Amino acid sequence: MGDRLRVMTIFGTRPEAVKMAPVVQRLRESEDFQPIVAVTAQHREMLDQVTRLFGITPDYDLDIMQVEQSLADITTRAMRGLYDVVGEAAPAFVLVQGDAHTTFIGALAAFYHRVPIGHVEAGLRTADKYQPFPEEMNRRMTSVLADLHFAATPGSRANLLREGIDPRAILVTGNTVIDALFAVKDRADIPPVAGLPPLDGRRLVLVTTHRRENWGEPMREIYRALLDLLERFSDIEVVFSVHPNPVVRRVVDDVLRGHPRAHLLEPPEYGPWIHLERRAALIMTDSGGIQEEATALGIPTLVLRRVTERPEGIAAGFLTLVGTDRERIVAEAARRLRDPGAGRTAGAGNPYGDGRAAERIVQALRYYFGRVPAPPDEFGG
Tell me the C-alpha distance between 105 and 110, whole Å: 9
First vs last C-alpha separation in the chain: 29
Of 6, 113, 212, 224, the catalytic one is: 212
Residue 84 is among the residues annotated as catalytic for this protein: no
Residue 187 is among the residues annotated as catalytic for this protein: no
Of 121, 293, 332, 359, the catalytic one is: 121
Alpha carbon distances (Å) from 11 to 43, 95, 98, 230: 11, 9, 9, 37
Of 125, 139, 140, 210, the catalytic one is: 210
Contact 268, 184 (CB under 8 A): no
Residue 235 is among the residues annotated as catalytic for this protein: no
Mention every residue, 6+ apart, whose C-beta is less than 8 A from residue 258: none
**75-79 contacts: CB < 8 A, separation 24 or more?**
75/101, 75/105, 77/40, 78/12, 78/40, 78/42, 78/102, 78/105, 78/106, 79/105, 79/108, 79/109
Of 16, 61, 99, 354, the catalytic one is: 99
Tell me the C-alpha distance between 304 and 214, whole Å: 9
- 320 CB neighbour count, 10 Å cutoff: 18
Residue 212 is among the residues annotated as catalytic for this protein: yes
Residue 210 is among the residues annotated as catalytic for this protein: yes
Of 16, 32, 61, 135, the catalytic one is: 135
Residue 88 is among the residues annotated as catalytic for this protein: no
By annotation, the residues acting in catalysis are 99, 121, 135, 210, 212, 243
